[in-house]
Amino acid sequence: MNIILLGPPGAGKGTQAARLVERHGMRQLSTGDMLRAAVKAETPTGLKVKAIMDAGELVSDEIVSALISDELVALPQTVGLIFDGYPRTQAQAQQLDQILAQHRRKIDRVIELAVDEDALVERITGRFTCAHCGAGYHEKFKLPRNTDPMKCDHCGSLDFNRRDDDNEESVRTRMAEYRAKTAPILPFYEARELVSRVDGMADMDEVTEEIEQVLRQYGAE
Ligand code: ADP
Ligand code: ADP
Ligand code: ZN
């Protein structure tokens, strides 16, 4: 099954994608993660996109679709894909269809994580990740089990990171970008009857369960 997790910044896409990877051996394709890796490695793409990302604006469609296309080349057909943070524009949605067709794949389901905008700033400004394994945490909603000293549940690392763009100003821009450019791609998938809406305001475990239900319902097709 190939699915898209669609929702504004902080909706829980990364959190839920990680769980699907663990449970089903699917592969998470996050353009945000790919771009951050490029910034860190100071590749030509990374140098080009750093300021755009920090401001919370969207990187060009060509850059992100090329990242996705490159990534798909090495992936066996049998591995299910989770698109996280891509597509984010109408052009990207069309490019994705083309890229998938080249690999004899298609989108089986688009899962919309519906969340109140008011909750997103709190989610994002409280977000941090393990510097070693990338596991995601939250100051209020998901602290590691061991907090004194703070220690990663998954790998035991004591080092954590916050994203440069997880500040209120950038978040506001990212939400505006989502409203203007990303939310309008929903009708494109609704017309194909591919969208399932999940309550992203529920507890993390409940959201996971709702997503599992969608996968059970549509996975056998
Ligand atoms: P979040 O998890 O908050 O939704 P992401 O990690 O997906 O954020 O993306 C971080 C930043 O990377 C975005 O604000 C944008 O600058 C860039 N980016 C990621 N994916 C895309 C995409 N598909 N199209 C354009 N820009 C993107
Ligand atoms: P996205 O990838 O959509 O930007 P994340 O998965 O990174 O979002 O989640 C943003 C922050 O909110 C993280 O710190 C995460 O731990 C937290 N979070 C995710 N899902 C929930 C939820 N259902 N309830 C409360 N906090 C959540
Ligand atoms: Zn870790």
DSSP bridge partners of 150: 147
Residues 6 or more apart from 77 whose CB is under 8 A from it? 103, 104, 105
Q: How confident is the model at residue 121 (pLDDT cuts 50, 70, 90)?
A: very high
Closest-CA residue to 6 (of 179, 202, 217): 179
Query: Ligand 1: distance of its center to the CA of 12 in Å?
Result: 13
28 phi and psi angles, rounded to 5 deg? -85, 125
Span 74-113, pLDDT tens digits: 899 899 999 999 999 999 999 999 999 999 999 999 999 9
Prior bond to 184 cis, omega within 30?
no
Which residues lie across from 2 on neighbouring strands?
81
Distance CA 28, CA 152 (A): 21
Q: What is the pLDDT of residues 180-201, one digit of tens each?
A: 999 999 999 999 999 999 999 9
Q: Which two tokens stand for residue 65?
A: 């679709």
Q: Is 127 a catalytic residue?
A: yes
162 among known catalytic residues: no
Band (pLDDT 50/70/90 cuts) for residue 220 is low
Nearest CA to ligand 1 atom 4: 9
Task: Give pTM, 2 decimals.
Answer: 0.96
User: 136-138 and 146-147: which strand pairing?
Assistant: unpaired
Region 130-140: mean pLDDT is 96
CB-based neighbours (< 5 A) of ligand 3, an ion: 130, 132-133, 135, 152, 154-155, 157
Please give the structure tokens belonging to residue 158. 């004591």
Ligand lying nearest the CA atom of residue 92: 1
Residue 88 known to be catalytic: yes
Angle made by CA atoms 202, 207, 210, in degrees to the nearest 5: 120
pLDDT of 118: 87
Instruction: Reply yes or no on whether the pLDDT at 143 is more than 50.
Output: yes
**Mean pLDDT, to the nearest integer, of 118-136?**
95
Report the pLDDT value the prediction gives residue 173, as an integer from 0 to 100: 95
As a whole number, the mean pLDDT across the chain is 96
